[in-house]
Amino acid sequence: MRWTPGGRSSDIEDRRDEGGGGFSIGGLGAGKLGLGGVLVLLVLSLLTGQDFLSLLGDGTQVSPSAPQTSQPRPHSAEEEKLVQFVSFVLDDVQNVWAQELPRHGTPYEKARLVLFTNTTRSGCGYAESAMGPFYCPADRKVYIDLGFYNELKRRFGAPGEFAQAYVIAHEVGHHVQNLLGISDKIHQLQESHPGQAGKLSIRLELQADCLAGVWGHSTEQRNLLEQGDVEAGLNAAAAVGDDRIQQQAGARVNPETWTHGSSTERVRWFRRGLESGRVSECNTFRSQGGSA
């Protein structure tokens, strides 16, 4: 991507030096898992023989162990550059939605992005890096441990700046859904139709992919993309498909346990937003356009 390293976004909340204790898994609500969380649970299940995926249906919070104190650690020049990139992407994504959302009758209110290391608190309970990046509607904040980007590159095979930007744009997409009232409506439907909860969750995630694509379309129009960027973003969307994650973990591909959608679905909806640049094209809840 074409961007100039500079200052930090005023919407960044840096907690990387706060430290934190370990966590015992006492139940992870599916909505609190980010892009890497399902993979972690699959790997744990394979290694221990216990069904950690069953915890996805439990709404209880992650239980903290005793907190540990830590001294501020030095940050490398590479990590500081990454913080500046995250700041650029966050500001750019939010500036685009500040212009776009009022066209749909809703003023845009900025989200904040929390950088943390290992563990932190969120309005949705305790967070740890193994959960992957996620958006918490209770405090309207995106949470990310920058170490996830190493996982995205090495474990998921999705390198590149636009792949990293896609992650942020996807989570801000959830913030847009929250502002539009879509998230609340879907959660109400999940409560009244528990048998459809999984499919509704997938459609919510696919819509966030499409909304990320709407922002991506804007970057292309403003000549911010370089050769290979679009491919990197699409590769990232494919890499975090539920089927790809299950295959990578050596597990049987089981659509009944999916929470985010298949690689094909995620690429399709991200591409739709990229190509159209229109929110109206992101209605994943139409029967003909939803998840399988």
Is there a domain that residue 213 lies in?
yes
Is there a domain that residue 212 lies in?
yes
CATH code of the domain containing 236:
3.40.390
Task: Give the domain range for residue 168.
Answer: 12-282
What are the residue ranges of helices labelled H in 117-160? 148-154
pLDDT digits (tens, 9 = 90+) for 1-45: 999 888 899 999 999 998 553 333 333 333 445 555 555 555 444
pLDDT-derived band at 292, boundaries 50, 70, 90: very low
Residue 64 has pLDDT above 70, yes or no: no
pLDDT-derived band at 133, boundaries 50, 70, 90: very high
Is there a domain that residue 40 lies in?
yes
**Rounded mean pLDDT of 88-95?**
97
Is there a domain that residue 1 lies in?
no
Is there a domain that residue 251 lies in?
yes
User: At CA 136, angle to CA 37 and CA 123, rounded to 5?
Assistant: 110
C-alpha 238/C-alpha 266 separation (Å) is 6
Q: Which long-range contacts (CB under 8 A, 24 or more apart) does 127-131 make?
A: 127/32, 127/62, 128/20, 128/23, 128/62, 130/36, 130/37, 130/40, 131/28, 131/32, 131/33, 131/34, 131/36, 131/37, 131/40
Q: Are strands 141-144 and 134-136 parallel, antiparallel or unpaired?
A: antiparallel
Q: Could you tell me the maximum CA-CA distance found in the chain, to the nearest angstrom?
A: 53
Is there a domain that residue 31 lies in?
yes
Q: Are strands 125-128 and 119-122 parallel, antiparallel or unpaired?
A: antiparallel
C-alpha 252/C-alpha 151 separation (Å) is 22
pLDDT digits (tens, 9 = 90+) for 171-229: 999 999 999 999 999 999 999 999 989 999 999 999 999 999 999 999 999 999 999 99
pLDDT for res 5: 85
User: pTM for the complete prediction?
Assistant: 0.80
pLDDT for res 251: 84
For tokens 């939010």, the residue is 94
C-alpha 132/C-alpha 147 separation (Å) is 9
State CA 267 to chain mean position distance: 15
Structural domain total, the chain: 1
- The continuous run of DSSP H or E covering 238 comes out as helix 229-239
pLDDT for res 107: 97
